[in-house]
Amino acid sequence: MAAKGDTGVDYSAAPPGGAAIAAAGYRFAARYLSNSPSKNIDEAEAADLRSNGIDVVVVWETTAMRALDGQAAGSQDAAAAREQADALGFPADAPIYFAVDFDASEAQQAPIDAYLSAAGSVLGADLVGVYGGFYVVERCFENGTATFGWQTGAWSGGQVSDQAHIYQRIGQVTVGGTECDVDEALQDNFGQWPADGSTPPPNDGGGDNGGGATPPPSGGGGDGQLTVDGQFGPATIRALQTAVGAQVDGQAGPDTWRHVQQTLGVPVDGQPGAQTIRALQARVGAAIDGNFGSGTTAQLQQALNAGVFPAEYFITVDGGLGRQTIAALQAATGATIDGHAGADTWRHVQRYLNITADGELGPQTIRALQQHTGATVDGQAGPSTWRHVQQALRDGTF
Is it the case that residue 218 has pLDDT exceeding 50?
no
pLDDT single digits (tens) 50-77: 999 999 999 999 999 999 999 999 999 9
pTM to 2 decimals?
0.56
CB 339 within 8 A of CB 285: no
Coil vs helix vs strand at 97: strand
pLDDT score for 129:
97
What gap in Å lies between CA 207 and CA 187, rounded to an integer?
9
- Name beta bridge partners: 162: none
H-helix or E-strand spanning residue 305: helix 294-306
pLDDT single digits (tens) 130-154: 999 999 999 999 999 999 999 998 8
pLDDT score for 225:
81
Compute the chain's Rg from CA coordinates.
22
Tell me the C-alpha to C-alpha distance, in Å, between residue 370 and each of 69, 353, 392: 53, 11, 11
Q: What is the mean pLDDT of the chain?
A: 88
pLDDT single digits (tens) 321-370: 887 788 889 888 988 888 788 899 999 999 999 999 999 999 999 999 99
In terms of CATH architecture, what is 7-185? Alpha-Beta Barrel (3.20)
What gap in Å lies between CA 19 and CA 263, rounded to an integer?
40
Categorise residue 70: left if φ over 0, alpha if ψ from -120 to 50, beta otherwise: left
Most confident of the following: 23-27, 63-67, 256-260, 269-273: 63-67
Residue 178 — φ and ψ, nearest 5°? -115, 135
Write the DSSP string, 161-184. Answer: -TT-SEEEEEEEEEETTEEEEEEE
Show Cβ contacts of residue 65 under 8 Å, excluding neighbours closer than 6 positions.
101, 102
pLDDT score for 86:
96
Of 154, 175, 157, nearest in space to 22 by CA? 175
Domain boundaries, the chain: 7-185, 234-395
What gap in Å lies between CA 163 and CA 197, rounded to an integer?
26
What gap in Å lies between CA 67 and CA 241, rounded to an integer?
42
Is it the case that residue 231 has pLDDT exceeding 90?
no
